[in-house]
Structure formats: C-alpha cells, structure tokens
Amino acid sequence: MGERIVVDPVTRIEGHLRIEVEVENGKVTNAWSSGTLFRGFEIFMKDRDPRDAWYIAQRVCGVCTTVHALTSLKAVEDAAGIEIPDTARLVRNLIMASQYLHDHIVHFYHLHALDWVDVVSALSADPKKTADLANSINPNGRRSGPGDFKAVQDRVKAFVNSGQLGPFDNAYWGHPAYKLPPEANLMAVSHYLDALKLQQSAVRMHAIFGGKNPHPQGYVVGGVTCIADLTPDRIGEFLFLLEEVVDFVDNVYVPDVLAVAPFYLDWAGIGGGLKNYLAYGMLPQNTGKEPDNLFFPRGVVLDRDISKAHPMEEKNILEHVAHSFYEGDKPLHPSVGETKPYYTDIDTEGKYSWLKSPRYDGKPMEVGPLSRMLVGYASGRKEFVDLTNGVLQKLGGLPPSVLFSTLGRTAARCLETKIISDKAKGWLMELTENVKRGNLETFTPYKMPDSAQGFGMTEAPRGALGHWIDIKGGKINNYQLVVPTTWNGSPRDAMGQRGSYEESLIGTPIADPKKPLEILRTIHSFDPCLACSVHVIDPKTNEVYKFKAA
C-alpha cells in the first residue's frame, strides 16, 4: 500500500467534495471520491403540487439553477403530455445559452485557470512582451498595450506588498507543474480580471427573459411568462449583451486556451479516466419530438470509438448504492428510485459517499462538455466536427484521441462555449421574426393528470441531467434527480467499478504530496461542486497539513 493523500474539501467548486488517493512511486494508483453533504430534495418534494416542482428544484444548485428548473418542467410536461409553443422554445433556449456562457467563462477563468496559471510568476513579466504575446495570438481581435498589463501587474504587486494576494492568496505558486512563462501568466491574470466584469453581462442576459438571476422566475409548466418582454427594445438589449459576450469568447477565451494548451500537452495523456461517454442532448431546434430535434445530440460513445454514436435509452439507467450512504441492496431505475439515508461514516472499503452510482447499461459513464462534444463529433454534426478538427490542426495536427484527457476536457468546454455563443444569435433572430409576425404564443393550456409518470432530460453545464416524477392524486408521489456530478463523482458500484473522478485520477503524477496541484487540476476539469480549505494527511506521521486554496 502506498501513501494516502486526502483533499477535503476540494476548493474552487460548488458543494462539498472529498478526494482520497493512494500514491506509489509518484503516481496515483487508487482513488475514492466522496460527496460529503446530504440535502434530500427528493424527500421534501413529495406531496407537493407538480406545477411547483420546477420552482423548488432550481434551488438544488446556486449556479445551475436554470437547468434544474428546465429539466423539472420537462418532466412534468412529459407526464402531462404538453408541447410548448415555438416562441417559448426559443426563449428557453436563450435563457439556457445565457446560463452556459456565464458558467463556462467563470469556470475557466475563476475556478480552473489557477491550476495552470502561476499568478506570482506574473510579477516578473515584461509588460511589453506580454502585450506582444496577447496581440500575436489574436491579431484580428482586441488590442492590448504594455500599459494595460503594467496596470494589472501593479495591482497584483500591491496585493503582495500589503502582505496578501487577495483573490489569489493561498495557492501552490512556484509548483513545478506550472509551465507558463511569466508573460503568459500575466496575460492570463489580466483576462481573469476582465472575466469578472464580463460575467455581469451574461447574468443580465439571463434576467431579461428569465426575470431574475440566479433563480429565474420566467418559467411555467407549459411555456414561459415573459410575453411582456418580447419587444424590440428588450430583444435589442439582449443582442447588445450577447455581442459583448461573444466578442470575449472569440477574442479572449478561445485564444487563451489555444495559447496555454501547447505548454501542457503532456496533460493530453493524463486524466482520461473512463472510456465511455453519455449525453442526453439539449437545445431543441423545433417543437418536434426529442431527441430528433436536439441541436446537441443525445447518444453514447463506447470504448472511445468516435466513429459512431449509439442511441441512448432511458430505460438502461440504474443507480447503485452499495458504497453510498443509503439503504438498499439492488440498483434501481430512477422512476422507482428511493432516497433512504443510512450514514455509516466514511469507509473506503464500505460506504463512503452521499452520491449514488448511476450506471448506463451496467457501465460507468463520463458526462459533461467532453461527452457532449464527443457525441456531437461521433454523430457527424458539422459544427462539432469542423470546430474540433480545426482546433486540433492549430495545435499542430494532434489526433482526436488527445481529447480523452484533462486537457481535452478543458478544451472541450471552450469549444462548446464557442458553438453555443454562435448558435444563440440564430435563436435570437428566430425570436425576432416570431415577434414581427405576431407569434406571441408562449403558453400551452393543459389539464394536470391525477396520476402519471414522466421524465425530463437536458444538459447542465456539468453534464447529463435527468428528473423523474411520479404523480398520484394530483400530487408528487416520488421525485428523483440524477445530476451530472452524481454520474462523474460517484463512488464504486456493486461490481467495484470506479466513477469518473476516481478513474480519471489513476496514473496522475504527484510531484509533492503536500501540494496536490495535479489532483485539483484533473478534478477541476470536470467542474464539480465548492468548499473552503484543503487538508493533506501524511500517512507516515499522521500529521495534518492545512492549506487554504484560492
């Protein structure tokens, strides 16, 4: 048995996550992922009005609020046999796009970038060389001068001279896994600060048709409620903000990823983990039947074979609880799922997580941006194929196999952001045409059945999201959620198969057990859920080293 490292809780995520690994000869040989927070939404949804489910369910997360609301709506609409009007579809797509643009930009710059960018190194950068670098990676985009970068450098120096690094405090600066030159680090720090300002625009986009952010008010079973906002002025305001965000994606986010990636090509062979990928699909292109009408296709990629996407069958999803803090001894389909807490303390040989273990056709699956891009690529969707191949070519003609990695997962999120930002303009133009024609129908009348079952599926920024509902006597009899982090962060199942986080850490190099940057780099690439400090245990001395991570 090798050394044990415990990172608890993992920071720069949302929620409470514990990662324990075993290290031999400088590499991870075993891993355990533990969700350490129980919330019980499935329990207190019972006996409520199905029409209220979406409003409650969006509180599952303080970040992915819209996607939970939408998935809950889809579950109830499926149970009631409701088809929403086309204008409502477009509004929902635009709200969803706003969520994605906000979420992915924040993730890269504020949650994940500091795994690749050494902020302290930026203090020794030459602002003139930094400006030359920034302008060279995107000669047709926004221009930056030495003065811009000198001002950023001075701000960081002021933090240091005051005895603290502010938002960049308590990280592993100087770690040997950092490889960017000082000028690239300074450029990235500058864009980190730019992204803080930009996220305001994405939030405002979300609120125009959603009514508010983070928890939208503009939905209703059967459609949306924002008919009063379907005016030229409000649509023009949305377009103005969208263009600002698209400009940042095209001229900052994408170029930054392309600039950073060549320094970390070794991470194109680290963190791949599982070989199977699942996507529910999202963003309907018309009011036809799912999944045929989805822009992001629904499907499964098996054994990393991206020459073919297999159909995804909802009936093949089961949840295991062998290593989860729940009662039960057999896997269940979510439609008949149970949520019966049974806490036993963390035991890596027994139960060690509040997350269940979803499996598709008996297999653990990775979900998220990488899965969506791979399913789109394997399905032959032109936007996915052309963009992916173009980026691989820019990186020196790399093969698609490099996507199966920590670096590939990070790049896939960027490519997905580019696809969605471009597509959003088209939906806004469609909405404009509907308004011009007087097609302002945003709600489908319905009668809620006394008894029915339904499910809703879409894609949260972190991956495949499903809600299942059972209605009896006009009330919710059973409600189950299978969320992306449940798929990716799941503990072992009854057959001993690791979840995606666990499998992705196998083989990860660890330069310094007291500074487990490499563990964070791979785990952050999935964008899990957040906490506030890191504890590393030395198994030889049982000494606990405590760090606060930025």
CATH code of the domain in which 366 resides: 1.10.645.10
Neighbour count for residue 404 (Cβ, 10 Å): 23
Is the separation of the CB atoms in 19 and 528 below 8 Å?
A: no
Is the separation of the CB atoms in 458 and 72 below 8 Å?
A: no
The reported pLDDT for the residue numbered 478 is 96
The reply to whether 485 falls in a domain is yes
Supply 22's token pair: 């075993």
The reported pLDDT for the residue numbered 163 is 76
CA distance 299 to 42: 27
Question: For residue range 373-384, what is the model confidence (pLDDT) as tens digits?
Answer: 999 999 999 999
The reply to whether 531 falls in a domain is yes
The reply to whether 386 falls in a domain is yes
530's CB contacts (< 8 A; 6+ apart) are: 11, 12, 13, 14, 15, 16
The reply to whether 148 falls in a domain is no
Q: How many residues does the chain have?
A: 550
The reported pLDDT for the residue numbered 535 is 26
Ramachandran bin of 222, using left for φ above 0, alpha for ψ from -120 to 50, beta for the remaining angles = left
Average pLDDT of the chain is: 92
The reply to whether 177 falls in a domain is no
Evaluate the CA torsion angle 414, 261, 548, 122 in order and state its sign.
negative
- Which structural domain, as residue segments, surrounds residue 379? 3-115+192-547
Domain count of the chain? Answer: 1
The reply to whether 184 falls in a domain is no
**Which residue ranges in the chain fall short of pLDDT 50?**
530-550
CA distance 285 to 38: 37
Question: For residue range 38-93, what is the model confidence (pLDDT) as tens digits?
Answer: 878 888 899 999 999 999 999 888 788 899 999 999 999 999 999 999 999 999 99
The reported pLDDT for the residue numbered 529 is 63
The reply to whether 172 falls in a domain is no
The reported pLDDT for the residue numbered 542 is 40
Half-sphere CA count of 344, side-chain side, radius 13 A: 17
The reply to whether 19 falls in a domain is yes
CA distance 340 to 185: 48
The reported pLDDT for the residue numbered 2 is 78
Ramachandran bin of 30, using left for φ above 0, alpha for ψ from -120 to 50, beta for the remaining angles = beta
